[in-house]
Amino acid sequence: MNTAHLHIPDYIIIISFLCITVYFGFRFSKKQKTTQSYFAANGKIPSWAIGFSILATLISSITFLAYPGEGYSSNWILLVQGMMVPIVLLSMIWFIVPLYRKVIGLSTYEYFEKRFGVFARYYSSLGFVLTHFSKMGTVFFLLALALANMTGVNTLIIISIIGVVIIILALLGGIEAVIWLDVIQGFMLFGCGIACLIIILYSVHGGPAEVWHIAKANGRTGFGPYNFDLKKLTFIVMAINGLFYGIQKYGTDQTIVQRYLTAKSDKSAIRASLMGVFLLVPVWALFMFIGTALFVYFKQNPLPAGIRADAIFPYFIVSKIPTGVVGLIIASLVSAGVCSLGADLNCLAAVGVEDYYKRFYPNRTDKEYLKAGRWIVLFAGIGSLLIAALYLNAGEEGVLGIVFTLYAIFSGGIAGIFLLGLFSARANQQGVTIGIIACIIFTAYAFLTSTKIGTGHEKFLLLDLGKYNFTHNKLMLGVYSHFVVIIVGYVASLFFPKPVIDKNLLYSGWYNIKKNQQ
């Protein structure tokens, strides 16, 4: 890749940002004396800062690189998932926030245990851990790929430097340092994205009107195909998947729920969530459209051979953007990865301490739990670096498609458990346990009968049942798994006694309180 426009000012800007990140870790390290401050910032973060933090947590380098890559190689269909999130959030955020702030200490999955027992808690928390390790590996992979191409620096060196910076930030500064760095990152990402889009649009002969004309003529606009086909990647597949993605992300994901706990009040947490999601969709759309504009630009200015879609945007940055601005954009890219990964490490440590360490080592001092959390941050950071190597052979499917697929697999049934727990007073521990087991069996069947392994042309199904193989799009696997839990879990619950439930764990409990306050 051409790195001619990466000069000393660019490197100074990038190195300065890395130093600022390390400073944030040391700056807030003195406040991290308890697990409550380390993982929840003692509930004192203003809502606007939490809103930016939610935005930063959900965008990462995947937004900066994979979304332009998808916009370049396809239309905007993968944006449909994100467009469903505001619908879910506006329906649920009003009672999810007060529920969690009232019934859990720190781990989201404490709710699952209170509602359905230990097995439900560990199934859901393990799904979170697996999902976020796969996501962290993706972010590291994309960062390493982009920075190696843009700077010419060895990929291993880049991974090591960025990894050390992220671990220092999360290890020393806790969630408070991550959140305030998120604020800076949010402004940087949005500003750089808009600047890049303007440059691309006016670098095309004919300007924005020509971009739209050529993109539309080449099938790069719209969200189709719109036919009702669950076997392919269609609008309906992404829309259904997006609804459950929104429920799971804002209702069961530790990285979001933990943000609720850092707010000063329920109202503050609700405002933060609404702000985060209504900033999120425009940012996703912005970077998807950058890919569309790049497709048109490189129609007029052919690319060198061998550049994959995920690397198109970095190539444009280093070959077409002026010196200094390149440094700001790359610093924004690094910032997106650092903030997202720092948040993931802190949340993984929170789950590790609350769901596992405290279970095996109860009644220890808070100081010991804080120390354990920091060790988990260290080992999780190193582990995510190793996982990044698994993405080197991403193939033609693209990293974003792989991320969505892994999310669908690892999150099997968790939104279903949550919905049963929230809305059904009849669902009980025994029934939901049976539902989870049925979900595991279904997920294993669907994955094994639809996923080929091997190298080159020598690929084969792990389990071939012929016409009984799972043939629907893999994103539907996650949707079906939630329905399996809901249907099997509810029906099985009818064979066991009706449970005695704390009303605070149910939607109806929140609704009755709200009704009595009016």
Tens place of pLDDT for every residue, the chain, 518 residues?
Answer: 444 457 888 888 888 888 888 888 888 888 888 999 999 999 999 999 999 888 877 776 667 777 898 899 999 998 998 899 899 988 999 999 999 999 998 999 999 999 999 999 999 998 888 888 777 877 777 777 778 777 777 777 787 888 888 888 888 999 999 899 888 887 888 888 899 999 999 999 999 999 999 999 999 999 989 999 998 999 999 999 999 989 988 899 999 999 999 999 999 999 999 998 888 889 899 999 999 999 999 999 988 877 878 778 888 888 888 888 888 888 888 887 888 888 889 999 999 999 999 999 999 999 999 999 999 999 988 888 777 766 655 444 455 555 556 655 666 789 999 999 999 999 999 999 999 999 989 988 988 888 777 655 677 787 889 889 999 988 888 799 999 999 999 999 999 999 999 999 999 988 888 888 76
Strand-pair category, 452-455 with 458-461: antiparallel
**In this structure, how many other beta carbons lie within 10 angstroms of the beta carbon of residue 468?**
9
User: In angstroms, how far is CA 330 from the centroid of its own chain?
Assistant: 21
**In this structure, how many other beta carbons lie within 10 angstroms of the beta carbon of residue 388?**
21
| pTM for this model (two decimals) | 0.87
Distances (CA, A) of 421 to 89, 197, 301, 497, 505: 18, 44, 55, 16, 7
Calpha distance 435→486 (Å, rounded): 7
> CB within 8 A of 53, min separation 6: which ones?
45, 178, 179, 182, 183, 259, 272, 276, 343
Give the chain's count of helices (H) and strands (E).
Answer: 21, 2
